[in-house]
């Protein structure tokens, strides 16, 4: 089972929504968590945006990347362009991508659009990881 880390600046919105989608869409296929360059709290608008489509992320917590070990993950996804700020050992996992999505915490009206972009990207990521697993 592939282990995926979604990382963002504060682990409050984009990475939390990605974790929620990955847990829902990838149930039984991947192990997933999320973190931030610094921890904060899950943004109420992220919780509401996900609840609007039937995914409950209320119990997710905001964690600092420093609480985790890079070797524990196969794939690392940055959602905010913060890849340049990550320690090098996080960039050299089996799979790394930097999605550079708009920050809805700064513009709450874009939460639904960013949520839907994340869903599309998580679904594509799951297909990539499934293909990698199948070819091993």
5-48 pLDDT, tens digit each: 999 999 999 999 999 999 999 999 999 999 999 999 999 999 99
- Compute the mean pLDDT over every residue in the chain, rounded to the nearest whole number: 94
pLDDT the model gives residue 51: 98
In tens, the pLDDT along 115-135 reads 999 999 999 999 999 988 887
Q: What's the Rg (C-alpha) of the chain?
A: 14
Q: Which residues are catalytic?
A: 8, 80
CA distance 93 to 113: 29
What pLDDT digit, counting tens, does each position of 39-60 carry? 999 999 999 999 999 999 999 9
Interstrand relation of 75-78 and 2-8 (parallel, antiparallel or unpaired): parallel
pLDDT of res. 13: 96
pTM of the full structure? 0.95
Confidence of residue 96 (pLDDT cuts 50, 70, 90): very high
Which of 83-86's residues contact partners 24+ apart within 8 Å by CB, and which partners?
85/37, 86/7, 86/37
List of domains in the chain: 2-131 (3.40.50.2300)
């Amino acid at each position: 089972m592939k282990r995926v880390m979604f990382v963002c600046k504060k682990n409050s919105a984009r990475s939390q929504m990605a974790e929620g989608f990955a847990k829902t869409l990838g149930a039984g296929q991947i192990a997933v968590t999320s973190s931030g360059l610094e921890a904060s709290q899950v943004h109420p608008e992220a919780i509401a945006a996900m609840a609007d489509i039937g995914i409950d992320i209320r119990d997710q917590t905001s964690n600092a990347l420093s609480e985790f070990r890079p070797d524990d993950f196969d794939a690392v996804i940055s959602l905010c362009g913060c890849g340049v700020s990550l320690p090098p050992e996080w960039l050299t996992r089996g799979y790394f991508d930097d999605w550079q999505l708009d920050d809805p915490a700064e513009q709450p009206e874009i939460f639904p659009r960013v949520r839907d972009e994340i869903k599309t990207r998580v679904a594509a990521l799951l297909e990539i990881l499934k293909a990698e697993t199948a070819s091993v």
